[in-house]
A and B are shown apart, each in its own frame.
Chain A
Amino acid sequence: MLLIKELKKALGVALWFVFLTFPIMVIKVDPIERIIRYRWENAAYVAIVTFTVYLVMSFIKLRKLRVTADKKESKPSRNVIHSILNNKKQLAVLSFMILAIALVFPHFFSVYQTNVMTTALMYVVLGLGLNIVVGMAGLLDLGFVAFYAVGAYSYALLNYHFGLGFWVVLPIGGALAAIFGIILGFPVLRLRGDYLAIVTLGFGEIIRLILENWGEFSQGPSGISNISRPGFFGMDFSLETSIMYMYYIMVIGVIVTIFIVNRLQDSRLGRAWIALREDEIACQAMGIDKRKTKLAAFSLGAFWAGLIGVVFAAKTTFINPASFTFLESAIILSIVVLGGMGSIIGVIIGAFILILMPEYLRALSEYRMLAFGGVMVAMMVFRPQGMIANIRRTYKFEKQK
C-alpha cells in the first residue's frame, strides 16, 4: 500500500522534473543554421534519475523513522575515524603510514601523478586555511581567492621586477595577504553573516577585475609568465626534479599547517572562534572582543591563502586573473563544507575527494562544477555537519576533595 503510494509520488516527481528540464535538456537550437535538435533521451534520463533518487530518499527516510523508533535512545555513534583520532597509538601508526606513503609516492608514480597530488595538497592547505575562517569562526568568506591572488601576484611581480626567489617571497606573500585580510576585515567584520559573505564576494571580484584591467601593474588578462620555480641553495633542477621538489614542499607545508591549525583549535583563541560561530552576542557578553577575534581568524586564513598563492605561482610559472575567479573560492568552500566545517580531518579528506576525483575519473571532470554545486546543496540539506563532524577535545579530571 505504502509502496504504491510512494511509487506514484516518485512518478509525479519524475514527471515534474521532465517538464522542468524540458526546454533546456531536450531542445537544442542552432540559431544560425536554423536547426532544432530534440534530445528525447535526455528526458528519459531525467525521469529515471529523479524517479530513483526520490524512491531511494523516501526509503532512507522510512528506515530512519523505523530505526529511531526501534532504539529509543541512540548514543551519538562515533565513527571509525573518531575512534582512531581518540586513540593515541592508532593515530600515531596511521599518521606514520600515511607519511611513509606520502614520502615514497613520487618514486612509484609518474611525474603527472605527482603533480596532481601536489595540487591536491595545495587544496588541503587552502581548505584548512578557509576552515579557520568559515568552519571555526563561522565567517562565510566568499572572496578567499582574493588572498590567494595576492600571494600569487606578490611572487610573480616581485620575481619579475626584482628577481626575488621563492623562499624570500613565501613569507612576504603570506604577510601581504594577511595585511589585506586585516584591511578588508576592519570595515566588514561588523557586518551580519550574510552581508559579510556578499561583501567578501564583491571584494574578491574587485581584486580580480583590477588585475584584469590595470595592465601596467599586472600585465592584464595575458598574465605573467616565466616565473621562477623554487630554488634550493642555488641549484638548478630539471623539470622533473623540480616537480618532485614542489611535491615535497607541499608535503611539509601540509604537515606544518595541520600542526598549527590543530594547536589553534585547542587554544584560547580557537575556543573563542567557535564560541563566536555559535553565538555572537553571548560570546561578547562573556568578554570576548569580537572584532579582534574575527580579525585574527580572517587574517590567519588569508595568510595561508597567500602562502599557497606563492606556491601556485611557482608551480605553474604562469598566472593570470582567470585563475582567481569566484568559482575558485566556491571550490575551496565546498571542500570545507563537504569535509565538515571545523573538522581538520574532514577538510583533508574533502580536499582529496573533490580534487582527485575529477582528476582520475576523467569522465567526471566535465561534471566537476556541477558536482561541487550539488554537493554544497546536498550537504546543507542532509548532513550539515559534513562527512566528518567536528568533535571537541575531552578532558579527564581526577576526583578532587
Chain B
Amino acid sequence: MDYFIELLFSGLTRGSIYALIALGYTMVYGIIGLINFAHGEIYMIGAFTAFIVATVLSIYGFPLLAIIVIAGVAAAVWSSAYGYTIEKIAYKPLRHAPRLSPLISAIGMSIFLQNYVLLAQTSDFLPFPALIPEFEFMEPVAHIVGSSDLVILITTTIVMLILTYIIKFTRVGKAMRATAQDRTMAMLVGINVNQIISATFIIGSALAAIGGLLIASHIGQINFYIGFIAGIKAFTAAVLGGIGSIPGAVLGSLVLGLTESFATGYVSSDYEDVFAFSLLVLILIFKPSGLLGKAETKKV
C-alpha cells in the first residue's frame, strides 16, 4: 500500500511538472496553431538560468529562501525573454507561410538553442543545488512522499490557479481566448493580436521555467539535453488532453505522469521513454483530438 501511494505521489509530481510545460504548448497551439518545438528548450534554459543564479547566490552566501525566490524569478524572466525573442525571430515572419515552414523553423530553433547552451556552458550533467529542504513535519511520511513532491504539487496548484484567473478574468486572458477562437475577428474588434501572441509566449515560457526550476531541484541534475525528452513528453500530454485545451493539458499531464509512474513502478523502467513515445504515437493515430479536444471538419 505504501508503495502504491509512493507511486501515486511520484506520478502526480511528474504530471504536474509536465502540466507546467504542456500548458505552453497548448496555449501557443491554441493561438497560432504551431507546435512550438523549441518549447522544451525554453524549459531547459529556465532550469539553466535557475541553476546559474542559484549557484552564484549560494557562493555569495545568500539565505536559502532568498535564493529560491531570486532564482525562480530570474528563471521566469529569462525564459520569458527567450520565448518572446524566439517568436519574433523564428515564427512571426512565417505567420502566413505554409504550415510546415514554422514547424521546421521551430525544430531549427530547438537544435540551435540546445547547442547554444552546450557550447556556452557544458555538455556534462551539472549537479543542481537542492533548493527545497526536507521539512521536519514530513518526517513520518518521508519514505513515501518527499518534501519536494509536496512543494511541487503546491506550487503547481497555485500557478494553475493564477493562470486560470489570468485567462478567465483579465483583459489579456480574454483577448487571448478571443484570438484563439478567431484571429481575424479579434483583429477586427481591435485586439492587438501581435501583442497577444507575445503575451502567450511569455506566459507559456514563464510556466515552463517554473517547471524547469522545480524538476531540476527535484532530480538534482541538469544538462543541455533535458528539454528534448521533457518537451516531447509534455507535448504528448498536451495532445492526450486535446491540444489547444488548457484543462486538457493539465488532465493529460496528470494521466501521463500517473501511467508512467505506475508502469515503471510495477512493470519495468527500461522502456520508460519507449512507453511515452508509443503513447504519443497511439493517441495521434487513434484519437488526435485528445480527451477534451473537439474534432473539427476543416472548412473547404
Contact = CB atoms under 8 A, between A and B. Distances in A.
A199 interface: yes
Interface residues of A, number: 60
A93 interface: no
Interface string A217-261: 000000000000000000000000000000000000000000000
A288 interface: no
A357 interface: no
A40 interface: no
B62 interface: no
Given A20-B78, A330-B107, A27 B56 contact: yes
Interface in A261-312: 281
A16 interface: yes
Contacts, number: 167
A99 interface: no
Given A32-B127, A195-B288, A24 B49 contact: yes
B90 A16 contact: no
A380 B129 contact: no
Given A31-B55, A206-B274, A23 B104 contact: no
Interface in B23-46: 34-35, 45
A235 B52 CA distance: 59
Interface stretch (B6-14, B141-149, B154-162, B276-284): B276-284
A163 interface: no
Contact of B100 (A194, A205, A334): A194
Nearest to B90: A377
A23 B94 contact: no
Contacts of A29: 51-52, 55-56, 59
A353 interface: no
A93 B224 CA distance: 49
A300 B271 CA distance: 30
Contacts of B280: 198-199, 202
B89 interface: yes
B interface, by DSSP: helix, strand, loop or mixed? helix
A381 B93 contact: yes
Contacts of A330: 107, 111
Contacts of A192: 288
Report the interface size class on chain B.
Answer: 35 or more
B274 A209 contact: yes
Contacts of B81: 19-20
Contact of B111 (A24, A25, A138, A369): A369
A114 to B, nearest CB: 29
A73 B104 CA distance: 32
Interface stretch (B113-121, B166-174, B251-259): B113-121
A187 interface: yes
Contact of A193 (B100, B107, B126, B129): B100
Contact of A381 (B49, B94, B284, B288): B94
Contacts of B270: 213
28 contacts: A20-B82, A20-B85, A23-B49, A24-B116, A24-B121, A28-B121, A193-B100, A195-B284, A198-B280, A199-B281, A202-B281, A206-B278, A281-B298, A326-B228, A333-B104, A370-B111, A370-B115, A370-B119, A372-B108, A373-B108, A373-B115, A374-B112, A377-B89, A378-B108, A380-B97, A380-B101, A380-B108, A381-B89
10 closest A-B pairs by beta carbon, nearest first, are A376-B108, A373-B112, A373-B111, A380-B105, A370-B115, A377-B108, A29-B55, A202-B277, A369-B115, A209-B274
Interface of A: 16-17, 19-21, 23-25, 27-29, 31-32, 34-36, 42, 138, 140, 142, 187-188, 191-195, 197-199, 201-203, 205-206, 209-210, 213, 281, 326-327, 330, 333-334, 337, 366-367, 369-370, 372-381, 384
Given A140-B104, A198-B284, 8 more contacts: A27-B56, A31-B127, A194-B99, A195-B288, A198-B280, A370-B119, A380-B108, A381-B105
